[in-house]
Structure 1
Amino acid sequence: MEEHALLFWISMGLMSAMVGGAMRKILATHVSTGPTMAAWLGVTMLVERLSSLGLPAVLALAALGAVCLLVPYWSPPVAPLPTEGRAVFITGCDSGFGKSAAQKLDALGFEVFASVLDLSGEGAQELQRVCSSRLTLIQMDITQAQDIQQALARTKAKLGLRGLWGLVNNAGVCVNFGDAELSLMSNYKGCMEVNFFGTLSVTQTFLPLLRRAKGRIVTVSSPSGEQPFPCLAAYGASKAALNLFINTLRHELEPWGVKVSTILPASFKTGQSSNSEYWELQYKHLLQNLPPALLEEYGEEYMLETKQLFQQHAKMANEDLSPVIDTILDALVSPRPKVRYYAGPGVGLMYFIHSYFPMSLSDRFLQRLFVKKKVLPRALQKHGSNSSDSHNNNNIDKGSPNRTQTSTSYWRTWHIYACNKVKQGTVG
C-alpha cells in the first residue's frame, strides 16, 4: 500500500511539473487557453485514474507524453493567407537571411522592398537579376535616420494608400568576441547601435504603415539575447534589449490588429561569420586596445584560443538557411502566427534544457555547446606567466596607438569597414 502511494505521488509530482511548465508556455504564446486547460485537466484526471489502478508512474507519464505528441495533430490545418497584393519590407538583404527571404517572398508573389547597404554590391545585384520587377531595392543603413526616412518615402510612394503588410527586421551584426571583461566599450556600443537602436528606429518609422494594414512585424533575434552564451556579452545584451522591446510592442499593438513574432535561429553561416579577415581584424584590434594589466591577467594565449574557437564554430554552422526562411514566411502568412519561432536544429532542445533543467546543468550545456575552453586565464594558471610572455605582451602594447582615442573612434572606423564589406547580414 505504501509503495502504491509513493508511486502515485511521484507520478503526480512529475505530472504537475510538466503541466505547470506547459501552461507557462501556453500563456507565453497567446494560444487560446480555455480548450487547452480543459485538455490538460482531462489528462490530469486520466493519469490519476491510471495511478489509482496500480499502474506504474512510468506508464502514466508515458500516456501523458503520448497525448502531448498527438494533440498538435488534432487541430485541422489552416490555409495560409494570400500573398498577392501584400507588401513586405526586409532589412539587411545584402546577404544571409535577408537576401534569401527577399528571393523567397518575391517568388511567392509578395511585393518586396529589400534594403541593402550597397546597391552595387554582389548581393544587391543578384537580387536585381533573379527577382521579379515587383522587388524594389533600397539603399539604407539602419543606423542613419536620414536613410530610414528616405526608405519610408520611397515605400509610401509605391504603396500609395495601401498599408505595409510585413516588416522583417533582419539586419544585425556581431562585432566582437571574448569575455565580457575583455570586450571593448566600442563593441558594446556598436552592437547596440545596429541590433537595438537601428531596429528600433526602423520599426517606429514604419509602424503607421503597418497599423494601416493590420500587418505583421517579424524580428530575427538570437537565443544569446535570453541565455548567457559565453563570450557573447555585447551581442547578447543588444539582442536582450531588442527582445524586450519587441515583446512590449507585441502587447501594445494587439488592439491595432498588428501581430508580432520573434525568430530565434540556431547557428547559421551568415554575414561575416565565416570571414577569417574579419575575425583577424577584431582580434588585432582587441590586443591593441586592452589595458596592459588586463592583457597580462588573461594572457594572449587565452584570447587566441577564443578566436580559434569562434572560427571553428563558424565553420560548423549550418549553410542551409531554409529553417529560418520558412519561419519568416509562416509568420507572414499564417492566420495564427506564433509569438516565438525556434528555427534550426538543436534550438528547441536548448530551450527545453534552459526552461526545465537546473541552472547549473543549463549553464554547463551552453559552455559545452558553444566554446569549449581549455586554456585558463594566465592569472589562474598554476605556474603563472613567464617572463618571455610578459615581454611579448609589452611589445604588443608599445606598438599600439593611443588607447582612448582608438577605442572612441573604433566604431566609426569599423562602420566604414562594414559598409565596404557588406556586414549587415544577420549573425544568428
Structure 2
Amino acid sequence: MSKLENMTDVRPLQLDVTKPSDIEAAAAAVSEETGGTLTYLINCAARNHFMPLLDEDIEAGKALYDTNVWGPLAVTQAFAPLLIKAKGTVVFITSLSGYLNVPYQGIFAASKKSEEIMAETLRLELAPFHVGVLSVVTGALKTMGQTHFDDWKLPEGSLYAPIESTIRDRARGQEGAPRMEAVDYAKRVVSEIIRGRTGKFWYGASAGAVKFGTSYLPTSLMDSGVQIKTGLDVLAEQNK
C-alpha cells in the first residue's frame, strides 16, 4: 500500500478477503465514493502453499481455500450490485498450477482451479446482467513473496524428509523456473481488461507453453517435465 498511497486518484482500503466485516466496509466505501457503481473488480488476493499431500494439515488447507476460493467469491457477491449498475467487469487472477500436477503444490493448485471454475461459471450467470467476467491463467511472477517460506519445514516423520531441502528451495522460488516481471504482467493484463476481454486469458512466464502442452501433449510427457528438480527421483532411487 505504501507504493500506492501517494498516487493521484488512488484510495487504499483495508480488505482481508477472509473477513466479512472488511468486505462490507470496503464495498460501502467504494459505493459512497462512486455513487454506487464499480467498473472493474479484480480478485487477486491469494496465498501460495507448498506441502506434500500426505503431510498436508487439513485445517491449513481449509484456511487456504478461505483466501483463494471463498474470499474472492464473497468479495464478488458484495460488489455485484455495483458492477451490475456499471455494466462492469470482474476479473479473477488464477494460476498455471491448476493445469499441472506439480509436486508439493496440490492444495494450492486445486484452490486456484476451483477459483477458475467459479469464474467461468459466473461468466454465464452474470451475462444477463451485462457484467463481463475474465479469468487470467497466470504464470510465475518475479515479485511473488517467498519470505514466509523461510521457516518452512515438513512435519515430523514425513516420508519426504530425505528431500526436505529441495522442497524448501522450491517453496522459496529457487527452483530455477522462469518468472515474469510483475509490471510487465500488469500492463498486458490491464490492457486486456480495459479493451473488454472476457472468458479465459493465459499470460505470464511459460503460460503459452503450458497451454499448448496441456492441450496437445500426452500426460506422461507433461508429468516428466513437472517432476524435474523435485527430488522425487531421489526418493524413487532410495525406495527401490
1:377 Cα deviation from its structure 2 partner? 6.4
Of 309, 331, 335, the match for 2:170: 309
Q: From the superposition, tell whether residues 345 and 126 of structure 1 become closer, same or farther in structure 2 (CA, over 3 Å).
A: closer
Unmatched runs of 5 consecutive residues or more in structure 2 = none
- Identical counterparts, % of pairs: 25
Query: Which residue of 187, 190, 198 corresponds with 1:326?
Result: 187
Kept in 1: contact 2:17–2:71 (CA 8 A): yes
Aligned-residue offset at 1:136: 1.0
Which of residues 381, 387, 391 is equivalent to 2:239?
381
Counterpart of 2:152 in structure 1 is: 282
Corresponding letter in the other structure for 1:303:
E
CA contact (8 A) 1:164 1:209 kept: yes
Counterpart position of 2:4: 127
**Matched residue type, 1:151:** A
Cα distance per residue 1:138-165 (max 9 Å; x no partner): 111110000100111111111114x210
Which residue identity is paired with 1:326?
Answer: K
Are positions 1:359 and 2:219 aligned together? yes
Equivalences for 1:107-118 in 2 at 5 Å? Answer: none
Cα deviation, residue 194, structure 1 = 0.3
Q: Residues of 2 paired with 1:259 and 1:195: CA distance?
A: 21
Q: What is the number of equivalent residue pairs in this alignment?
A: 240
The question of whether the paired residues in 1 share the 8 Å contact of 2:136 and 2:200 is answered with: yes
Counterpart contact for 1:269–1:314, Cα < 8 Å: no
Given candidates 122, 125, 149, the residue that maps to 2:24 is 149
Q: Does 1:137 align with 2:7?
A: no
Cα contact 1:187–1:234 (8 A) shared by 2: no
Please identify, of 315-324 and 246-255, the stretch whose mean Cα deviation from structure 2 is larger: 315-324
- State whether structure 2 residue 134 is matched by structure 1 residue 261: yes
The alignment partner of 1:199 has SS state of helix
Does 2:230 correspond to 1:371?
A: yes
| Rg larger for | 1
* TM-score (structure 2 length as normaliser): 0.90
Once residues 153 and 188 of structure 1 are traced to their aligned partners in structure 2, the CA distance between those partners, rounded to angstroms, is 30
Q: Which amino acid aligns with 2:152?
A: Q
**C-alpha root-mean-square deviation of aligned residues, in Å?**
2.2
Q: Do the aligned partners of 2:135 and 2:199 also contact (CA within 8 Å) in 1?
A: yes
Question: What are the within-5 Å matches in structure 2 for residues 225-304 of structure 1?
Answer: 225-273=98-146, 275=147, 278-283=148-153, 286-287=154-155, 290=156, 292=157, 295=158, 298-304=159-165
Three-state SS of the structure 2 residue aligned to 1:248 is: helix
In the TM superposition, 1:67-146 aligns within 5 A as 124-129=1-6, 131-132=7-8, 134-146=9-21
String of CA shifts for 1:184-214, please: whole Å, max 9, x gaps. 2133112101000111110111011001111
Rounded Cα–Cα distance in structure 2 between residues aligned with 1:209 and 1:272: 31
Q: Report the counterpart of residue 93 of structure 2 in structure 1.
A: 220
- Cα distance in 1, alignment partners of residues 160 and 80 from structure 2: 48
- How far residue 312 of structure 1 moved from its aligned partner, in angstroms, is 5.0
Provide TM-score, normalisation by structure 1.
Answer: 0.52
CA contact (8 A) 1:323 1:343 kept: no
Q: Give the residue type in structure 1 aligned to 2:137.
A: L
Describe how 1:25-36 pairs up with structure 2 within 5 A: none
User: Kindly tell me: are residues 246 and 299 of structure 1, through their superposed partners in 2, closer, same or farther at Cα, counting changes over 3 Å?
Assistant: closer
Q: Which amino acid aligns with 1:362?
A: M
Q: Of residues 11, 24, 38 in structure 2, which corresponds to 1:164?
A: 38
SS of 2:227 mapped into structure 1: helix
